[in-house]
Amino acid sequence: MTANDPSPNHLQLTRDGQLRHFLTLDGLGRELLTDILDTADSFIEVGERRIKKVPLLRGRTVVNLFFESSTRTRSTFELAAKRLSADVLNLDINTSATSKGESLSDTLLNLEAMASDMFVVRHSQSGAPHFIAESVTPGVAIINAGDGRHAHPTQAMLDMLTIRQHKGSFEGLKVAIVGDVLHSRVARSQIRALNVLGAGEVRVIAPGTLLPRDVEDLGCTVEYDMARGMQDLDVVIMLRLQKERMEGALLPSEREFYRLYGLNQDKLALAKPDCIVMHPGPINRGVEIESAVADGPQSVILNQVTNGIAIRMAVMSMAMGGQVAERQQKHSDHEGARA
Amino acid sequence: MTALLDINQLLDELEAGLRRILAERGVDNPALIGIRTGGVWLADVMSKRLGLAEPYGELDISFYRDDFSRIGLNPRVAPSSLPFDTEGRDIILIDDVIMSGRTIRAAMNEIFDYGRPASIILATLIDLGARELPVQPDVTGKALALDAHQRVKLRGPDPLRIEFQETGQ
């Protein structure tokens, strides 16, 4: 794999295939995704101990670099880093130097000068974490915590972990993603992950105005009618209606959206009886999901939050481990060249 | 020194040593923990031999290894599982081979994150010497001195057997 490779893997992986940044699921194979899920399983057990901490990242500094606000994602990344024994710096960029005119590159240089080992990046621009990974000093790991409409790979992986916990495997599963696919970086990453992990069918259910063009090319079927789309489902993933990203009149009204695409008990009854209900949060109750469903016995929404910590611990320790192994490799190459 | 070792003889030795030390210390209800993978097989055998009713624990020390900053994360990590509370318990910690002592240090660190045990007895099937840390087993099946190019490994779980390897260096 060369630096000219159009896939992002020359950036994400070491030359022996270990993770060193986690930017997107594109190009990552089933084996690596399964490794992430397996490692996360072990971290779930750590979260049940009296002392919920392991010494893996002791003495390392993780910077949460959030250019876009977030509560759940940032706090679970922070908790994940702390449970790995790292020191954590939370940087709220909206109220920080960029508002005084400092460029992204200058902000990064300053953070690197503080000997940071990892940046967890959320940005409203698609591709920002890639840009940072390309420009950052070697040895610093970049984790994508959501970029524009592009990707949210840790969210997709925590969803995969939740599905595997409840369904055992992905083989033959029928999974639907419902709602605002157009604005959803989560949906893109989920469709990718489900296909790589071997789900039987990935369906998106949404009005045409909330679907990206050529959505089938992502690896899914499309259903505009929710009652038809709910048939035979093992998993239904509701998306949040991203009102803040809506431009123009994509929807007649919230009430109309809820009538057609909101998940209530009647619609859920059309799926398999053991169908699980997922939502990446935050929930708009009564807009995309009924409270009785969100809080009901088939809902695994709070499991998703718990699993988010374990997945983030897995990805952070694997990427840091890849950086470390790579540095060691370069060092021994250097020694070998001198000998 | 690579003559075949009789696994049953070593297990007898280990069992007798454990019975002796448990009696000496007056421990009547020990909790058994094996270190993955060989130590877990041994925990299974010793649990039956010692007639312990309580299920034994399994420890995966991958998150506690001291060489993360040199080699990164072990890709084959599996969850540890301790089906009892370690707080105040007398623990028997068991592993197949002890050499540098680093695995045992990591295992003890991990055990303490589950709670503070009253005591830990360390049992290893084979002691290869070559210690890098001041960690010594209380009970051992056999002490061996290997040549630099030799390795020894416990294979199992059924049947358990000891395998010698030449590394060719």
Q: Which residues of B touch A (CB under 8 A)?
A: 60, 62-64, 68-73, 75, 77-81, 87, 109, 112-115
B87 inside domain: yes
Give the number of beta-carbon pairs within 8 Å between A and B: 62
Q: Which of A57, A324, A330, A335 to mutate to test the interface with B (most CBs of B within 10 A)?
A: A324
Contact check, Cβ <8 Å, B81/A55: no
The answer to whether residue A331 sits within a structural domain is no
User: What pLDDT is stored for residue A100 in this prediction?
Assistant: 63
Q: Are strands B150-155 and B161-166 parallel, antiparallel or unpaired?
A: antiparallel
Q: Which domain holds residue B110?
A: 7-67+79-166
The pLDDT-based confidence of A2 (bands split at 50, 70, 90) is very low
Shared-domain flag, residues A104 and A119:
yes
Q: Tell whether A104 and A211 lie within a shared domain.
A: no
* Residue B161 lies inside a defined structural domain of this protein: yes
Q: Which residue has the tokens 């270990």?
A: A18
Same domain for A277 and A163? yes
For the ranges A98-112, A216-230, A233-247, A293-307, the lowest mean pLDDT is seen at A98-112
Q: Is A72 annotated as a binding residue?
A: yes
Asked whether the beta carbons of residue A56 and residue B81 sit closer than 8 angstroms, the reply is no
- Once rounded to an integer, what is the mean pLDDT over residues B27-55? 96
> Which amino acid type is present at position B125?
L
Contact B114 A320 (CB under 8 A): no
pTM given for the model: 0.91
Q: Is residue B81 classed exposed, middle or buried when 0-12, 13-18 and 19+ CB atoms within 10 A define those classes?
A: middle
Q: How many domains does chain A have?
A: 2
Asked if residue A2 belongs to a domain, the reply is no
A336 within a domain of the structure (yes/no): no
**Contacts with B, A 6-45, CB within 8 Å:** 18, 35, 38-39, 41-42, 44-45
Given the structure tokens 């594109």, which residue do they identify?
A: A26
ipTM for this model: 0.85
Position A101 confidence tier, pLDDT thresholds 50, 70, 90? low
Does residue B38 lie within any of the structural domains? yes
pLDDT tens digits, one per residue of A203-219: 999 999 999 998 999 99
Question: SS3 for chain A, per residue?
Answer: CCCCCCCCHHHHECCCCCECCECCCCCCCHHHHHHHHHHHHHHHHHCCCCCCCCCCCCCCEEEEEECCCCCHHHHHHHHHHHHCCCEEEEEEHHHCHHHHCCCHHHHHHHHHHCCCCEEEEEECCCCHHHHHHHHCCCCCEEEEEEECCCECHHHHHHHHHHHHHHHCCCECCEEEEECCCCCCHHHHHHHHHHHHHCECEEEEECCHHHCCCCHHHHCCEEECCHHHHCCCCCEEEECCCCHHHCCCCCCCCHHHHHHHHCECHHHHCCCCCCCEEECCCCCCECCCECHHHHCCCCECHHHHHHHHHHHHHHHHHHHHHHHHHHHHHHHHHHHHHHC
Q: What is the pLDDT averaged over residues A2-17?
A: 70
In a domain, A227, yes or no: yes
Q: Residue B139 domain-assigned?
A: yes
Residue A111 lies in a domain: yes
Higher pLDDT, A21 or A253: A21
φ, ψ of residue B128 in degrees (nearest 5):
-95, 5
Q: What is the mean pLDDT of residues A214-232?
A: 95
Residue B73 in domain: no
Sheet hosting strand A235-238, strand order edge to edge: A221-223, A201-205, A174-178, A235-238, A276-278
What are the tens digits of pLDDT across the range B91-129?
999 999 999 999 999 999 999 999 999 999 999 999 999
Check if A51 contacts B (Cβ < 8 Å). yes
At A249 the pLDDT is 64
Overall domain count for chain B? 1
Angle separating helix axes A104-113 and A128-135, nearest 10 degrees: 50
Is residue B137 one of the residues assigned to a domain? yes
Given CB atoms, is A53 within the 8 Å cutoff of chain B?
A: yes
Q: What is the pLDDT of residue A113?
A: 85
Looking at residue A244, what is its pLDDT? 66
Say whether both A24 and A105 belong to one domain. Answer: yes
Tokens of B134: 């001041």
Residue B1 within any structural domain of the chain: no
Domain that holds residue A191: 153-303
Mean pLDDT for B130-136 is 95
User: Is residue B21 in some structural domain?
Assistant: yes
Could you tell me the pLDDT band of residue B148, with boundaries at 50, 70 and 90?
A: confident
Query: A262 with A191, same domain?
Result: yes
Specify whether A120 is located in the same domain as A206.
no
Q: Which residues of A touch B113 (CB under 8 A)?
A: 49-51, 53-54
pLDDT in tens, B149-165: 888 889 999 899 998 88
pLDDT tens per residue across span B54-96: 999 999 999 999 889 888 898 888 999 999 999 999 999 999 9
pLDDT, position A6: 45
The most distant pair of C-alpha atoms in chain B lies apart, rounded to whole Å, by: 47
- CATH number of the domain enclosing B44: 3.40.50.2020
Res. B140 pLDDT band, cuts 50 70 90: very high
Domain for residue A1, yes or no? no
What confidence category does residue B17 fall into, taking pLDDT thresholds of 50, 70 and 90? very high
Residue B159 in tokens: 């049947």
Question: What pLDDT band is residue A8 in, cutting at 50, 70 and 90?
Answer: low
Domain contains A339: no
Chosen for mutation from B36, B64, B69 (greatest number of chain A CBs closer than 10 Å) is B69
Q: For residues A286 and A165, state if they share a domain.
A: yes
Give domain status of residue A195, yes or no. yes
**Residue A193 and residue A74 in one domain:** no
- Does A304 belong to an annotated binding site? no
Of the listed ranges A35-49, A93-107, A147-161, A308-322, the one predicted with least confidence? A93-107
Distance between start and end Cα atoms, chain B: 17
CATH number at residue A142: 3.40.50.1370
